[in-house]
Amino acid sequence: MHGTETDGKRDLHKLLVKADVGELARSNPRTFSEYLEHWLQAAAKPRLRECTHNQYEVTLERYITPVLGASRLDKSTPLQIQSLYGQLLDCGLSPRTVRLTHAVFRNVLQQAVKWRMLRTSPTDAVDLPK
């Protein structure tokens, strides 16, 4: 063993602070696809009607997974999300559809914050189309 008891307590305190703000959980290499599947079963299914759950699932599979599915959840950025929304508009989706997709995706990522998989939701810092 190396160091004093005081050093150990200080190191333990640092780890506890990191765990409290979610930094330890950020090392989780889960992809968006893995997280979305887990979110649909663990968070959405118990609290949503079947019809709403199905709509969320289709929205995520159609608009989010093809672009972000292989990306790591803990590496997501507002710029990445903003680019996704731009791509959706460029593909001919209406601004309303992009806003509805954002509402679902924001809900998904807010749960990741609650579960301490993310410190903040990157969807909070994006601009939506008018």
What are the phi and psi torsion angles at 31 (to 5°)?
A: -85, 165
CA 102 centroid distance within chain: 12
pLDDT for 31 equals: 93
Given a cut of 60, whether residue 25 has pLDDT beyond it is: no
Given a cut of 60, whether residue 23 has pLDDT beyond it is: no
Compute the mean pLDDT over every residue in the chain, rounded to the nearest whole number.
Answer: 88
pLDDT for 26 equals: 46
Q: pLDDT tens for residues 101-120?
A: 999 999 999 999 999 999 99
Q: What is the C-alpha separation between 114 and 103, in angstroms, rounded?
A: 17
Given a cut of 70, whether residue 29 has pLDDT beyond it is: no
Q: Domain map of the chain by residue range?
A: 29-125
Q: What CATH number should be reported for the domain whose range is 29-125?
A: 1.10.150.130
